[in-house]
Structure 1
Amino acid sequence: MSASIGWEVKNNLFSFLKSLLGKDQGWKDSLRSNFSELFRHCLDIERHAIVEEKIQPGQKGRVYFSGTWWSAVCEREVTLLPGDHVRVIGICNITLIVEPLGQLLA
């Protein structure tokens, strides 16, 4: 996502939340303190995929991501099984690079 598109998304989200919260001035402080976390969470959700075909170390599998199926690999020495939720961390040509959700980076 380019920086300009990112700011456009933030501004649209901010305007939407403002309209929901009305004219109360207390919303500004609450929104400012929670906005970054909310936006980070929204971006995180967009990067999640579901394994459709087993991904073994050094081998491609398949994930369902953003409404379609993609080839995917995992750079870690783990086997990802169908139904596992993964995070998309990159792309190489037309193959997504994924990692298991909930695992800390080494």
Structure 2
Amino acid sequence: MPHLLDSAKIKLFSETIPAIVEQEIAPGKRGRVKCIGKYWPASLYPPSCHIIFSPGEPVLVVGMEKMTLLIRPFASTP
């Protein structure tokens, strides 16, 4: 079942933060990233994104929902 984001609990950051995928992240499937030296659960943002990220890929953190980081492709524009 796809993860539905609760827009009331989403905090988007004013600047993106680089991270590295540690566990595969796919549509509807949370994974894990390493960001600022720590491991975090992560989901795609926006949820309509249809990309699969593999371990070792660079991504950008754009926000947070509870304790889950929200990521997008490193090369995409805001």
TM normalised by structure 2 equals: 0.72
Code of the aligned partner of 1:78: I
Gap runs ≥5 in structure 1:
1-42
Q: What residue number does 2:57 align with?
A: 84
CA distance in 2, matches of 1:89, 1:58: 17
Give the number of aligned pairs: 61
2:26 is aligned, of 56, 64, 67, to 56
Structure 1 vs Structure 2 CA RMSD: 1.3
1:1-106 equivalences under 5 Å are 47-74=17-44, 75=47, 76-105=49-78
Question: 1:103 deviation in Å?
Answer: 2.0
CA distance in 2, matches of 1:57, 1:104: 19
TM normalised by structure 1 equals: 0.54
Moved over 2 A (4+): none
Structure showing greater Rg: 1
Higher helix share: 1
Higher strand share: 2
